[in-house]
Amino acid sequence: MRSEHQMLDLILSVAERDERIRVVIMNGSRANPNAPRDIFQDFDIIYLATDPAPFIRNLPWIDQFGERMILQLPDEMSDTPPDAAQGSGYLMQFADGNRIDLGIYPLHRLTEFIRDSQTILLLDKDGRVPPLPPASERDYLPSPPTAKAFADCCNEFWWVAPYAAKGLWRSEILYAKHILDHYQRDMLMQLLTWHIGLQTGFTANPGKHGKYFQCYLEPELWDLLLKTYSNADYTQTWEALFTMCTLFRQVAVPLAEHYGFEYPFDDDRRVFAHLQHVCSLPKDANEMY
């Protein structure tokens, strides 16, 4: 596996040899001073060029970055052809384990890309880039909830819960798990993000998809969160649904109290009772109540 030093040398040497490429910046986790370092980190690189069009769909040109395991062209994955003049990207997973997410864009988009607080300037051939502040997580920190955002989160969580129960009663495990692991979980993760923000003064980055939650959640909350992930067993999925509701309530109530928001206790009580009722409802029932 090529080292970080070797990869950065390669990324810069490609740009230095090509007169069309004028600026190189790096963002993502390698530009985040607080991100854990490991062998799986991508190299998120942007080349700003005088004309990006010749680089688009130019597979022989990207061969110089190394032997690829797999390639994705995200801008090609729609029915509408990309505008070559606006640039495009190559997501390259290499056979040695390294990965480069490379975007090639026109110089006039420079300001757009250096706004990201996790930006490190690697090359500036013409002195176009103004001095940048040290890379930080500033743009990736959570914000406190508004009363409306909190109310909407609670409403969506309890609104979709009966859908999961319906799917479980019908023995439609894939449908039930989709509701549980997408709609409800999205609301739970948003709530936990606010909780972590409150506990840390909104100075900590919980990470994409909660990847750093374990670092910030209290052990008992972390244990409950893990129990909300189930396999395809119906009994375990029912248990995961009830645990998710318990965890949501346990976090939402004190959060509401802190901010002076209203927690929908009546919705919680009625929906949770409905879930318990459906869980015990005979499969041959002709009436729900």
Whether residue 78 is predicted with pLDDT greater than 90 in this model: the reply is no
154-to-137, 175, 194 alpha-carbon distances in Å: 28, 21, 13
Q: Which of 2-11, 72-81, 164-173 has the lowest mean pLDDT?
A: 72-81
Q: Where are the domains of the chain?
A: 4-139, 141-280
* Segment 171-221, tens digit of pLDDT: 999 999 999 999 999 999 999 999 999 999 999 999 999 999 999 999 999
Are 43 and 11 a contacting pair, CB within 8 Å? yes
Percent of the chain with pLDDT over 90: 93
CA–CA distance, 54 with 85 (Å, rounded to integer):
9
- What are the residues facing 92 on neighbouring strands? 71, 100
* pLDDT for residue 86: 84
CA–CA distance, 105 with 47 (Å, rounded to integer):
6
Q: SS3 for 61?
A: helix
* pLDDT for residue 28: 93
CB environment 265-275: b (16+ within 10 A), e (fewer): eeebeebbebb
**Banded model confidence at residue 87, pLDDT cuts 50, 70, 90:** confident
CA–CA distance, 118 with 30 (Å, rounded to integer):
9
CA–CA distance, 136 with 262 (Å, rounded to integer):
35
**Banded model confidence at residue 76, pLDDT cuts 50, 70, 90:** confident
Whether residue 79 is predicted with pLDDT greater than 80 in this model: the reply is no
Q: What CATH number does domain 4-139 carry, 3.30.70.580, 3.30.460.10, 3.40.50.2020, 3.40.50.170?
A: 3.30.460.10
Whether residue 82 is predicted with pLDDT greater than 80 in this model: the reply is no
Q: What is the dihedral of CA 142, 148, 154, 156, to 10 degrees?
A: -100
Q: What is the dihedral of CA 244, 245, 248, 254, to 10 degrees?
A: -140
| Stretch 244-263: mean pLDDT | 98
Q: Which residue has the tokens 């690829």?
A: 68
Q: For the chain, first and last CA: distance in Å?
A: 62
Please give the structure tokens belonging to residue 174: 């894939």
Are 30 and 5 a contacting pair, CB within 8 Å? no
For 85-128, strand residue ranges (E) read 88-94, 99-106, 120-124
CATH class as words, domain 141-280: mainly alpha
Q: Which residue has the tokens 């890379």?
A: 135
* Segment 118-152, tens digit of pLDDT: 999 999 999 999 999 999 999 999 999 999 999 99
DSSP 135: P
237-to-11, 113, 232 alpha-carbon distances in Å: 47, 43, 7
Whether residue 81 is predicted with pLDDT greater than 80 in this model: the reply is no
CA–CA distance, 228 with 181 (Å, rounded to integer):
9
Length of the chain in residues, anyone? 289
CA–CA distance, 153 with 157 (Å, rounded to integer):
6
Tell me the whole-structure pTM to 2 decimals: 0.90
DSSP-derived secondary structure for 15-39: HHH-TTEEEEEEESGGG-TTSPP-T
| Stretch 91-101: mean pLDDT | 98
Q: Mean pLDDT in the chain?
A: 96
